Structure 1
Amino acid sequence: MEDISWLQLTILILASFRLTHLIVFDEITSFLRDPFLTVTYEPDESGQEVRKIEIKGEGWRYWAGSLLSCHWCMGIWSSLLLVALHLWVPASFPLLLALAVAGAAAFIESRVYMG
């Protein structure tokens, strides 16, 4: 196994963050989640929109819905996939870099809008 530099590790961390968010939260990938769960948004007592998840089915379908609704769970699998790509498919670097840049931009944007 090759050593991973700090720069590569940083790219993998940011890429995993972005891929996880893409799969679990982004509208563009809702088609992946739709067979397994239903997401609705309801206001709480303070008027803030709260994400409500209803997982569909039983067995494997329920397991997949649980995975796709959990950023902690999906983060593990996203990380494993991206590390494997990095180690075994060097040509995947542009994809990893694009995800990392998007992840860093999302992190910065969330801090700017938080005040």
Structure 2
Amino acid sequence: MKITFLNLLILGLASFRLTRLIVFDKITEWIRTPFFDEIEEEDENGVIEIYYLPKKKGLKKFFGELLSCYWCTGIWASVIVVVSFYLFPFYSTPIIVILAVAGLASFFETIVQQLLEK
């Protein structure tokens, strides 16, 4: 199995974006919701902050802890991306490229936001 630098870059960006999609994005909140308890706290300024804590026991606790750790979820997202790339390249390549482009775009967006703040 030979992997080029370009393949590594594309797979890395796709894994990065898939991880962010699973752990942080609003669109996938429905996946995370069953595994977390929502805690609301009001700060001294009256602003309500919402915290998500993993469930207390069983499989929901396991998946809640997994989904609250982007390093942990990133490993599994990488496994999904790489295995699908090698086992089902015809079907997975377009999805992987889309995720990689979105991952690269998020880097550009972060840079632009940093430049606009200065």
TM-score, length-scaled by structure 1: 0.86
Against the structure 1 CA distance between its residues 13 and 59, is the aligned structure 2 distance closer, same or farther, given a 3 Å change threshold?
same
Letter in 2 for 1:89: F
**Aligned residues of 1:36 and 1:57 also touching (Cα < 8 A):** no
Q: How far apart in 1 are the matches of 2:5 and 2:42? A: 42
2:14 aligns with: 15
Against the structure 1 CA distance between its residues 62 and 110, is the aligned structure 2 distance closer, same or farther, given a 3 Å change threshold?
same
1:4 is paired with a residue of what secondary structure? coil
2:114 aligns with: 114
- The alpha carbon displacement at 1:57 in A equals 3.4
2:82 aligns with: 83
1:42-97 per-residue CA deviation (whole Å, 9 max, x = no partner) reads 7989xxxx873311130211010001111110000000110101111111111000
- Whose Rg is larger? 2
2:3 is paired with a residue of what secondary structure? coil
**Aligned residues of 1:33 and 1:65 also touching (Cα < 8 A):** yes
Q: Which has the higher helix share?
A: 2
1:100 aligns with: 100
Q: How far apart in 1 are the matches of 2:85 and 2:29? A: 26
What stretches of structure 1 move > 6 A for 4+ residues in a row?
Answer: 40-45
Letter in 2 for 1:24: V
1:58 aligns with: 57
TM-score, length-scaled by structure 2: 0.84
CA RMSD of aligned residues (A): 2.3
For structure 1, the residue ranges without an aligned partner over 5 or more in a row are none
Letter in 2 for 1:106: S
What is the aligned-residue identity percentage?
A: 46
For structure 2, the residue ranges without an aligned partner over 5 or more in a row are none
Q: How far apart in 1 are the matches of 2:106 and 2:37? A: 25
